[in-house]
């Protein structure tokens, strides 16, 4: 009994210490964002501001169209995530349940493309978007979501574990292929879809390089580009930078908090089932 107690005690103690270490940068950002410009250089560092102020947050919205950047990020990220879920789930359904000729070979080819570094595809994608006349438009940032190999791989593992008897029962009831996909298969893949939604949302929300290449109009820039502009114009005003960074983190925290129950289940389902 004592051995189990001390083992659990060590586990929770180490976990708490790691949690504190992880939280230190976040707490420093919060503290810095509430300080005035003059209080930033105080030594030793004052973790709790003596005279907290919201000036940094007001300056974020006055120096840059930050509300517009928030809307741009929400629109692009939401569209990117929805298209990814739809295209990846339909592709996974075709690979696992329709079984057309050459399905295994095409799936292996898809998976092999995961070894290609993202940076290698930037120039071809840029040329394609330029030929289509989509530079400096929202679709140029959203359209790459049509081909998300990781999402296909995750959902393939989940759908392979679904017995075909469910589909046969639905066919007997007169359901067509699309209805089977929508009513039978998708609900059974809920945990994997939730995990893919979280990871895709986070990746798109935090993406910097691709929007930087595609978007030049200030009114179309995402939050990551807006923060970069703050860093360039107001590099010494760290309280403004930290305020903008905290604002950009809030949607990610909210999305993860709402869907965290399904996150672990989805990762396990996508990783070990097949």
The domain boundary, picked from 53, 75, 96, lies at 53
Q: How confident is the model at residue 73 (pLDDT cuts 50, 70, 90)?
A: very high
DSSP 121-165: HHHHHHHHHHHTT-TTSHHHHHGGGG--HHHHHHHHHHHHTS-TH
Per-residue confidence (pLDDT) for residue 264, from 0 to 100: 57
50 has a pLDDT exceeding 90: no
Task: Summarize pLDDT for 107-128 with one digit per residue, the tens.
Answer: 888 888 888 888 888 888 889 9
| Integer Cα distance of 81 and 12 in angstroms | 36
Rounded Cα–Cα distance for residues 200 and 272 (Å): 20
Rg, the chain, Cα only: 23
Q: Are residues 95 and 3 in the same domain?
A: no
Enclosing H/E stretch for 215: none
Specify the pLDDT at position 43. 66
CA atoms within 13 A on the CB side of 127: 4
Residue 274: its pLDDT value, please?
Answer: 42
Which residue range forms the structural domain that includes residue 233?
60-272
> pLDDT of 125-145, one tens digit each?
889 999 988 899 999 999 988
Band of pLDDT at residue 48, cut at 50, 70 and 90? confident
Rounded Cα–Cα distance for residues 58 and 73 (Å): 20
Give dist(CA 266, CA 274) in Å, integer: 13
Whether residues 93 and 49 share a domain: the answer is no
CA distances, 160 to each of 147, 154, 246 (Å): 20, 10, 40
Which single residue is written with the structure tokens 């420093």? 28
45 and 122 together in one domain: no
Segment 53-76 shows an average pLDDT of 84
- Output DSSP code: residue 267: H
Contacts of residue 274, defined as CB under 8 A and 6 or more positions apart, other chains included, come to 156, 157, 160, 161
* Residue 69 and residue 34 share a domain: no
Q: Please, what is the end-to-end C-alpha distance for the chain in angstroms?
A: 39
Q: Across the chain, which distance is largest between two alpha carbons, in Å?
A: 75
Q: How far is residue 169's CA from residue 241's CA, in Å, rounded to a whole number? A: 57
Burial class (CB in 10 A: 0-12, 13-18, 19+), 80: buried
150-196 pLDDT, tens digit each: 888 889 888 888 888 888 888 888 888 888 888 888 888 888 888 88
Across 71-80, 102-111, 120-129, least confident range? 102-111
Are residue 44 and residue 66 in the same domain, yes or no?
A: no
The reply to whether 110 and 182 lie within a common domain is yes
User: Residue 30: CB partners within 8 Å, gap ≥ 6?
Assistant: 242, 246
Where helices occur in the chain by DSSP H, the ranges are: 2-33, 55-63, 66-93, 103-112, 118-131, 138-142, 149-160, 165-172, 177-179, 186-188, 190-206, 209-214, 223-233, 238-272
68 and 46: one domain?
Answer: no
The token pair that represents 229 in the structure block:
């502009």
The rounded distance, in Å, linking the Cα atoms of 142 and 73 is 11
Let me know whether 80 and 41 are in one domain: no
Query: Does 122 lie in the same domain as 188?
Result: yes
CATH of the domain at 235: 1.10.3720.10
Q: Looking at the structure, tell me whether residues 134 and 1 fall in a common domain.
A: no
């Amino acid at each position: 009994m004592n051995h189990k107690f001390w083992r659990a005690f060590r586990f929770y103690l180490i976990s708490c210490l790691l949690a504190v270490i992880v939280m230190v940068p976040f707490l420093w950002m919060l503290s810095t964002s509430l300080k005035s410009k003059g209080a930033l250089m105080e030594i030793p560092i004052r973790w709790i501001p003596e005279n907290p102020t919201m000036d940094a947050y007001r300056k974020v919205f006055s120096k840059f169209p930050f509300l517009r950047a928030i809307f741009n990020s929400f629109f692009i990220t939401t569209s990117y995530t929805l298209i990814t879920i739809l295209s990846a789930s339909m592709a996974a359904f075709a690979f696992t349940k329709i079984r057309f000729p050459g399905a295994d070979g095409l799936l292996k080819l898809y998976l092999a493309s995961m070894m290609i570094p993202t940076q290698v595809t930037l120039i071809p994608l840029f040329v394609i978007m330029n030929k289509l006349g989509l530079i400096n438009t929202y679709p140029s940032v959203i359209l790459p979501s049509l081909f998300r190999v990781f999402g296909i791989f995750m959902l393939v593992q989940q759908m392979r574990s679904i017995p075909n008897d469910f589909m046969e029962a639905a066919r007997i009831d007169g359901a067509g292929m699309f209805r089977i996909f929508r009513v039978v298969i998708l609900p059974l893949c809920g945990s994997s879809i939730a995990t893919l939604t979280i990871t895709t949302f986070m990746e798109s929300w935090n993406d910097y390089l691709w929007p930087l290449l595609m978007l030049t109009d200030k009114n179309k820039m995402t939050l990551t580009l807006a923060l970069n502009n703050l860093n360039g114009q107001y590099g010494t005003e760290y309280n403004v930078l930290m305020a903008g960074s905290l604002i950009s983190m809030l949607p990610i925290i909210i999305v993860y908090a709402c869907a965290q129950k399904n996150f672990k289940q989805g990762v396990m389902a996508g990783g070990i089932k097949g």
